[in-house]
């Protein structure tokens, strides 16, 4: 092995790489207790045992005078004794008690999340390149208007407007100056400021080992983040496009959400995975996969779409000790704050996970949104009020896991009707989970079934055709007209009839 690596390194040193080292290994035992190894002969196994690398190395140590047979036997006995001691600890009821789910049915549920609140995962002083007050981006943001209108009620220009990306930046830079363990990395995170300019200004503030560019390998990005967190650090990995969650599927779906509970909450997983949901880039770069991660127990999932919420929820994520999937929409990085009175606070604040927020009051129908569809729903609410006198109460979910239904149920009790919307494909979306639970919890208050307004069950088309794919303001009105109550004088532009719903399902679209 040493010789093989030496030869490969020589090729690399002469800049003739990359190189591939193909290593053949052998496993004596079967894949599992049910594997009887009937596919290989006794002679085959014995032949490989003759080439056992551990035995061969031991033989070389003895021949070279570096060890005696007794030394090797003693080492083997010590290792076996250590493993046996660990085995005894594992079956010791006082050290490793068995769960009694009959006596405590919710015990596993309490181990899914640690729900900790920690300013810093390290006692060390954070390494930075200059005081935060000297950072050019921090200075620039300090001069921005933190609401979309000035004190006279006039719209603020884009150049002077505090944006959603600024809210995320403020939360992250603040934590970098508090927590020495915090690192962030992903594709194009350093120098360029991130693909969507969220990290602009961090390069000047942080040494390379705290903020750096990764290879284009999503599995490595998330996998190393999990390992770093298991060793006691806090980390912000980034997946540039939501569509590439599949490239790190095992890490996101099978590792990050489960180690806390599997360890009995001994291990903490303070990983905040930033995931950007795209548009304008077609079938493989414009998908909303919130439903996939919301389906996996052990992940907290948030999707803020206002600057105030973006900063507050990122602060909460970075204060916590649980894995968080933090979705961002590429549609609205430049949007300003238009809901929180007084704009986005300059100081530190947290928004608790799981609390939906009423963005506009109304009395006739509730519209619950996930992601940037909030702004589409607000346009729909304007048209419904102005043209038909229907007052829509618009609620932004903000968080998918956890989710507090009380705010929504209170609204439905008032309106008797609810529509749910997001940019995710309607089939299998988290909207259906919300709709089902609302049907059960608010059955006596509903005058009509909940209506889901999601994207078409197509691949995402090119930018010029997106209006036919993602929910549009008129879709809300059409869906209300067809599924909730007829609107006098309204002529639908999209078909939301039951017959069309059945036809599309039969076609798989």
Instruction: Please state, in angstroms and rounded to a whole number, the distance separating the CA atoms of residues 467 and 327.
Output: 22
Which helix (H) or strand (E) segment holds residue 226: the answer is helix 218-230
Distances (CA, A) of 292 to 51, 179, 469: 46, 31, 20
Catalytic residue among 285, 295, 340, 490: 285
| CA torsion angle 93 99 100 103 (round to 10) | 110
Which residue carries 């990359």 as its tokens? Answer: 18
Q: End-to-end CA distance of the chain: give it in Å, rounded.
A: 54
Q: Give the three-state DSSP class for 79.
A: helix
The whole-angstrom separation of Cα 86 and Cα 80 is 10
Of 388, 389, 392, the C-alpha closest to 360 is 392
Q: How far apart are the C-alpha atoms of 441 and 418, rounded to whole Å?
A: 13
**Cβ distance 198 to 169 under 8 Å?**
yes
Residue 490: active-site member: no
Retrieve residue 490's tokens.
């309204």
Non-local CB neighbours of 163 within 8 Å, separated by 6+ positions: 307, 333, 334, 335, 336
> Could you tell me the sign of the dihedral formed by the alpha carbons of 142, 143, 147, 148, in that order?
negative
Burial 95-126 (b: 16+ CB within 10 A, else e): eeeeeeeeeeeeeeeebbbbeeebebbeeeeb
Q: Coil, helix or strand for 308?
A: helix
Pairing mode, strands 365-369 and 211-213: unpaired
Question: Helices 307-319 and 164-176 meet at what angle, rounded to 10?
Answer: 20
- Rounded distance between C-alpha atoms, residue 93 and residue 207, angstroms: 47
Structure tokens at 190: 């350093």
| Distance between CA atoms of residues 243 and 259, nearest Å | 24
Location of structure tokens 């030496």: 6
Q: Alpha-carbon distance 189 to 198, whole Å?
A: 9
Q: Is the peptide bond before 402 cis (omega within 30 degrees of 0)?
A: yes
Q: Do 306 and 163 contact (CB within 8 A), yes or no?
A: no
* Residues involved in catalysis: 285
């Amino acid at each position: 092995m040493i010789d093989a690596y030496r030869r490969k390194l020589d090729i690399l040193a002469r800049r003739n790489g990359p190189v591939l080292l193909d290593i053949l290994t052998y496993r004596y035992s079967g894949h599992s207790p049910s594997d009887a190894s009937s596919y290989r002969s006794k002679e085959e196994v014995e032949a490989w045992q003759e080439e056992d690398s551990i035995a061969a190395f031991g033989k070389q140590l003895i021949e070279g005078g570096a060890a005696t047979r007794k030394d090797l036997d003693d080492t083997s006995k010590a290792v076996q004794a250590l493993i046996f001691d660990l085995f005894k600890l594992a079956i010791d009821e006082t050290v490793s008690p068995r769960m009694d789910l009959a006596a405590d049915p919710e015990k596993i549920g309490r181990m899914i999340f640690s729900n900790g609140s920690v300013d810093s995962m390290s006692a060390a002083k954070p390494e930075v390149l200059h005081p935060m007050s000297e950072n050019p981006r921090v200075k620039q943001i300090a001069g921005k208007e933190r609401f979309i209108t000035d004190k006279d009620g006039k719209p603020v220009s884009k150049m002077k407007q505090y944006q959603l990306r600024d809210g995320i930046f403020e939360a992250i830079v603040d934590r970098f100056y508090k927590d020495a363990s915090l690192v962030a990395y992903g594709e194009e995170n350093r120098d360029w400021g991130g693909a969507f300019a969220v990290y602009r200004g961090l390069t000047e503030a942080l040494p390379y080992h705290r903020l750096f560019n990764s290879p284009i390998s999503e599995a490595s990005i998330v996998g190393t983040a999990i390992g770093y967190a298991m060793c006691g650090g806090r980390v912000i990995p980034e997946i540039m496009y939501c569509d590439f969650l599949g490239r790190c599927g095992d890490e996101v779906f099978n590792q990050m959400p489960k180690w806390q509970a599997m360890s009995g909450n001994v291990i903490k997983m303070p990983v905040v995975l930033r995931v950007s949901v795209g548009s304008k880039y077609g079938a493989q770069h414009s998908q909303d996969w919130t439903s996939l991660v919301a389906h996996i127990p052990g992940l907290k999932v948030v999707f803020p779409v206002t600057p105030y919420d973006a900063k507050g929820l990122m602060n909460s994520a970075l204060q916590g000790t649980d894995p968080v999937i933090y979705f961002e929409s590429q549609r609205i990085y430049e949007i300003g704050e238009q809901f929180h009175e007084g704009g986005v606070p300059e100081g530190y604040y947290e928004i608790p996970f799981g609390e939906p927020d009423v963005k506009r009051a109304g009395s006739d129908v509730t519209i619950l949104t996930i992601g940037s569809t909030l702004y589409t729903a607000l346009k729909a609410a304007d048209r419904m009020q102005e043209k038909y006198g229907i007052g829509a109460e618009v609620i932004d979910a903000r968080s998918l896991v956890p989710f507090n239904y009380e705010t929504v149920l209170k609204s439905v009790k008032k309106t008797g009707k609810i529509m749910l919307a997001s940019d995710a494909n309607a089939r299998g979306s988290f909207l259906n989970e919300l709709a089902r639970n609302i049907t059960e919890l608010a059955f006596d208050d509903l005058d009509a079934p909940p209506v889901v307004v999601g994207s078409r069950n197509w691949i995402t088309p090119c930018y010029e055709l997106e209006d036919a794919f993602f929910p549009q303001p008129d879709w809300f009105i059409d869906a209300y007209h067809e599924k909730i109550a007829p609107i006098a004088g309204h002529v639908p532009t999209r078909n939301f009839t039951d017959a069309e719903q059945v036809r599309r399902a039969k076609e798989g679209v």
